[in-house]
Amino acid sequence: MTETAIWFDLDGTLLAVGDYGTILERACERAGIEGEDRTDFVEVYQSEFFDLLQDVVAEPYTRAATAGVEETSVDVDPESFVETLLETECERTRVPDTVRETLETLGETNDLGVLTNGVTKWQQTKLQHHDLTEQLDAVVVSEEAGAHKPRAAPFELAERRLPAEERWMVGDDREADVEGARSAGWSGIHVSDPTDVPDVVDRL
């Protein structure tokens, strides 16, 4: 058992995401969804997706895209659209160099993990795309736990994946990351975005 495990949220903490609406619009453009069709599709897609994600339903991206196609006049293959969306999100997110340097510094004396809400394939693909997996000792995605932060299940799964005497959670969502961690008996650090991550070194 390690002495200290430091867990990080992914989107908005390690990854600079920017405006997700722009990512979705760009994916629609690449998939050939234009004009009013795009507006209608995006509206249905987003409504369906967030409901499905919240309920931890399997394949929320494909299901939401399928609903968008069925309820609008868009002619696109849902699975192809989802692949395009994932590629676009990977391309349009980034890991600042200061975040990588911070992980390297903290990893010298601590075990590091990512504890993120989302879909396992999606989050793992982004971690691999941005070459973050080698700096991590464990990854837990809320889909695996059957519940999202701030509920206890993701934190309990993280504890099993990476046993430690002391655990910290670093994230940009006060409720999901910080309050969720504290409810689980962990310590929590709030960061506004990836530019704050280097400050974690001095706060531990």
Rg, the chain, Cα only: 18
The kind and range of the H/E element at 64 are: helix 60-71
Q: What are phi and psi of 78, to 5 degrees?
A: -55, -45
| Position 58 pLDDT exceeds 80 | yes
Distance CA 113, CA 28 (A): 33
Model confidence over 102-131: pLDDT tens digits? 999 999 999 999 999 999 999 999 999 999
Let me know how many helices (H) and strands (E) the chain has, helices first: 10, 5
Q: What is the DSSP letter of 186?
A: -
pLDDT of residue 2: 79
C-alpha span between 73 and 9 (Å, rounded): 37
Q: What is the CATH number of domain 2-16+94-203?
A: 3.40.50.1000
Q: In what order do the strands lie in the sheet with 138-141?
A: 138-141, 111-116, 2-8, 164-171, 187-190
Provide the pLDDT for residue 40. Answer: 95
**Model pLDDT, residue 18:** 86
| pLDDT > 90: percent of the chain | 96
Each residue's pLDDT tens digit, 6-47: 999 999 999 999 888 999 999 999 999 999 999 999 999 999
Structure confidence at residue 122 (pLDDT): 97
* Rounded Cα distance, 53 and 50, in Å: 5
Q: What is the pLDDT of residue 167?
A: 98
**Spans of all domains in the chain:** 2-16+94-203, 20-92
For the chain, the average pLDDT equals: 96
pLDDT of residue 184: 98
The predicted model gives 170-193 an average pLDDT of 98
| 79 confidence band (pLDDT: 50, 70, 90) | very high
